Amino acid sequence: MESTEGNSLQALRQNRGKVDSGLTHECGVFAAIGNESWEAGTEIAQIVLIGLQALQHRGQESTGIVTSEGHNEFNVQKGMGLVKNVFTNESISQLTGVMGIGHTRYSTSAKSTAINAQPFVVHSMHGSLAVAHNGELVNASTLRKQVLDRGVGLSTHSDSELITQALCLIPPDGEVNGPDWPARIRHLMQLAPLSYSLVVLLKDRIYAVRDPYGNRPLCLGKILASTHEMVNGFTEDIVNKIVDAEKPADGWVVASESCAFMKITRYMREIKPGEIVELTRSGPKTIDIIPTPAGKAMAFCIFEYVYFARPTSIFEGQEVYNARVHCGRQLALEHPVEADIVGSVPESGNAAAHGYSLQSNIPQGELLAKNTYVGRTFIQPSNRLRQMNVALKFSPILTNVKGKRIILIDDSIVRGNTVGPIIKLLRKSGAKEVHIRIASPPLKFPCYMGINIPTREELIANAKDFEDIALKVGADSLHYLSVEGLVRAVQKDIKVQGRKIGHCTACLTGEYPGGVPDNLDW
């Protein structure tokens, strides 16, 4: 049991994983279910495992998989660390089943410890229930009181455990013949409209649920029919044509991002904001679509496009890379400058640099080589060590840097710990001019919806001397994309039918789509 001292949001967030630079991600959820002829074994767990590896960028603190063989007892394996370190052949062999769910975690609401690793499993009156959650409940403290008032005990401070327990509550209209899971999910969505994408495992089905604002992403795919194997030996194109035909699937998958669907699984569609999808062994079925409270606008996280998601993922009918290129083009329109070369801070600045180059007709080239084996920049006690971290992470490519007027693109500046040392590095390597262009507006406000954006004080855009930041970091000029420009670039190629488009920009504007948390003490 965790300490219950200090229940304000700040107290609860104190023990979250801390890094020196960047935005730490959110979480990744994945689910897989075999069709009626699928035989119980470890193949479902293997599919979930591959999905989680593809979602590793969304959370690296802990991971877990839960499978069901159709009985009340689930098979559970969870642990601290990366997917490749937590799961072994031995642990996967314990995960037999015909359906399962999995999670990669970056903590937002409770400590990064094994007890808070997901999926959460509880045993209810009607059998076991497991939940994997990406997001953060804005009204967690009110919901917590409501659940505790109903006589339910909670063993952690995690809002994901809270969701799991809230799903065990009998809905207000009661139940006639056993548990009415869709009614329970609707009840949860009324109690807590923001923010979550969930996969919920029961003994014989899975529910995929996206909050009414559509704040966090979620999509549906299928496990390709085994025709795939029969056509081995043909070229990939022919295989694709055959499996794409409307053949019955061998099963279905759900994931935070479509980058998790590979080779044997294929993207079908996005799960709509507010949608509840029931996946049984005969296929997926939409049970309901819950509207936002008081007809409020949709609020899909715009930072999924800017930074979080893999460039190959598909949101709202467009590839993330495409939206990033538009951001770069828009940035070139808003802040042109004469230069010899456009380059990026790898890796998530790459697509925006491509867009800037296309729009400005200034050639694009690599300015920095990234050492892929250096992970995050962990908290360092001094500036000197922080700069060493950056030097370890990036090396200048002299051919493109020496004697050149450079435009350096990055997707975002958070604490400002990356950009300053990089400029120094480029100057030392002979750059004539360094112009920084940022493909998102200044980050000014914390996020309460599943992302670890630091406190206001830590965000460099809130520094007193922010106007002089270009001088401070040693750039010849530094400009950001406007909020309007970002929204325009992201929304340019969106293709969704039958619903309004809307994005959360709260960390840029301070306009929170569902209000601020009810236990905020500042």
Ligand X SMILES: NC(=O)CC[C@H](N)C(=O)O
Least Cα distance to 480 among 406, 430, 394, 419 occurs for 419
- Residue 348 annotated as part of some ligand binding site: yes
Among 43, 159, 411, 476, binds ligand PRP (CB under 6 A): 411
Residue 447 phi, psi dihedral angles, 5° rounding: -105, 135
Nearest distance from residue 373's CB to ligand PRP, in Å?
Answer: 13
Nearest distance from residue 442's CB to ligand SF4, in Å?
Answer: 12
Does 414 interact with ligand PRP (rule: CB under 6 A)? yes
Looking at the Cβ atoms of 105 and 184, the one nearer to ligand X is: 105
Do the Cβ atoms of 163 and 133 come closer than 8 Å?
yes
- Residue 204 annotated as part of some ligand binding site: no
Q: Which amino acid is at 334?
A: E
Q: H/E/C letters for each residue in 230-246?
A: HCECECHHHHHHHHHCC
Q: Which amino acid is at 222?
A: K
- What is the sign, positive or negative, of the torsion defined by CA atoms of 208, 214, 216, 218? positive
Find the helix or strand (DSSP H, E) in which 320 lies: helix 320-334
Percentages helix, strand, coil for the chain, rounded to the nearest 5?
30, 25, 45
Least Cα distance to 99 among 318, 253, 241, 216 occurs for 253
Half-sphere exposure of 12 (CA within 13 A, CB side): 23
Gap between the Cα atoms of 33 and 152, Å rounded: 30
Among 451, 460, 481, 489, binds ligand SF4 (CB under 6 A): 451
Nearest distance from residue 345's CB to Mg ion, in Å?
Answer: 5
- Residue 507 annotated as part of some ligand binding site: yes
Looking at the Cβ atoms of 332 and 506, the one nearer to ligand X is: 506
Which listed option, ligand SF4, ligand PRP, ligand X, none, makes contact with residue 302 (CB within 5 to 8 Å by class)? ligand SF4
Do the Cβ atoms of 108 and 138 come closer than 8 Å?
no
Which listed option, ligand PRP, Mg ion, ligand X, none, makes contact with residue 414 (CB within 5 to 8 Å by class)? ligand PRP
- Residue 412 annotated as part of some ligand binding site: no
Nearest distance from residue 510's CB to ligand X, in Å?
Answer: 21
Does 521 interact with ligand PRP (rule: CB under 6 A)? no
CA distances to 54, 119, 282, 450 from 28, in Å = 9, 11, 25, 11
Q: What is the largest CA-CA distance in the chain?
A: 77
DSSP letters along 222-283, please? EEPPTHHHHTBTB-HHHHHHHHHSSPPPSEEEEESSGGG--TTEEEEEEPPTTEEEEEETTE
Tokens of 389: 């971290």
- Residue 237 annotated as part of some ligand binding site: no
Nearest distance from residue 407's CB to ligand PRP, in Å?
Answer: 15
Residues 395-400: contacts with CB within 8 Å, 24+ apart? 395/368, 395/369, 395/371, 396/367, 396/368, 396/425, 396/426, 396/428, 396/429, 397/365, 397/366, 397/367, 397/368, 397/369, 398/429, 398/430, 400/341, 400/343, 400/365, 400/366, 400/367
Tell me the per-residue interface mask from 409 to 448 with ligand SF4, x by CB under 6 A, - otherwise: --------------------------------------x-
Among 43, 257, 270, 410, binds ligand PRP (CB under 6 A): 410
- Residue 411 annotated as part of some ligand binding site: yes
Looking at the Cβ atoms of 212 and 251, the one nearer to ligand X is: 212
Q: Which residue number has the CB closest to ligand X?
A: 27
Do the Cβ atoms of 100 and 182 come closer than 8 Å?
no
Does 415 interact with ligand PRP (rule: CB under 6 A)? yes
Nearest distance from residue 516's CB to ligand SF4, in Å?
Answer: 11
Q: Which residue number has the CB closest to ligand PRP?
A: 22
Nearest distance from residue 15's CB to ligand X, in Å?
Answer: 11
Tokens 């309901």 belong to residue = 288
Tell me the per-residue interface mask from 282 to 321 with ligand PRP, x by CB under 6 A, - otherwise: -------------------------x--------------
Catalytic site includes residue 27: yes
Do the Cβ atoms of 137 and 160 come closer than 8 Å?
no
Among 418, 440, 452, 505, binds ligand PRP (CB under 6 A): 418
Nearest distance from residue 280's CB to ligand PRP, in Å?
Answer: 38
- In the three-class reduction of DSSP (H, G, I as helix; E, B as strand; rest coil), residue 172 is classed as coil
- In the three-class reduction of DSSP (H, G, I as helix; E, B as strand; rest coil), residue 520 is classed as coil
From 128-136, 155-163, 191-199, 405-413, give the range in contact with ligand PRP by CB under 6 A: 405-413
Does 22 interact with ligand PRP (rule: CB under 6 A)? yes
Residues 453-512 that bind ligand SF4 (CB under 6 A): 504-507
What is the contact surface with ligand X in residues (CB under 6 A)?
26-27, 105-110, 116, 133-136, 158-160, 450
- Out of 27, 219, 259, 327, which one is annotated catalytic? 27
- Residue 168 annotated as part of some ligand binding site: no
Do the Cβ atoms of 92 and 85 come closer than 8 Å?
no
Does 9 interact with ligand SF4 (rule: CB under 6 A)? no
Q: Give all strands (DSSP E) within 295-404, no chain letters.
A: 300-301, 314-315, 318-319, 341-344, 368-370, 394-396
Which listed option, ligand PRP, ligand SF4, ligand X, none, makes contact with residue 506 (CB within 5 to 8 Å by class)? ligand SF4
From 239-247, 314-322, 358-366, 415-423, give the range in contact with ligand PRP by CB under 6 A: 415-423
Q: Which residues bind Mg ion (CB under 5 A)?
A: 348
Q: Which residues bind ligand PRP (CB under 6 A)?
A: 21-22, 307, 345-348, 410-418
Q: Which residues bind ligand SF4 (CB under 6 A)?
A: 215, 301-303, 447, 449, 451, 504-507
Q: Please list the active-site residues.
A: 27
Binding residues for Mg(2+): 348, 410-411
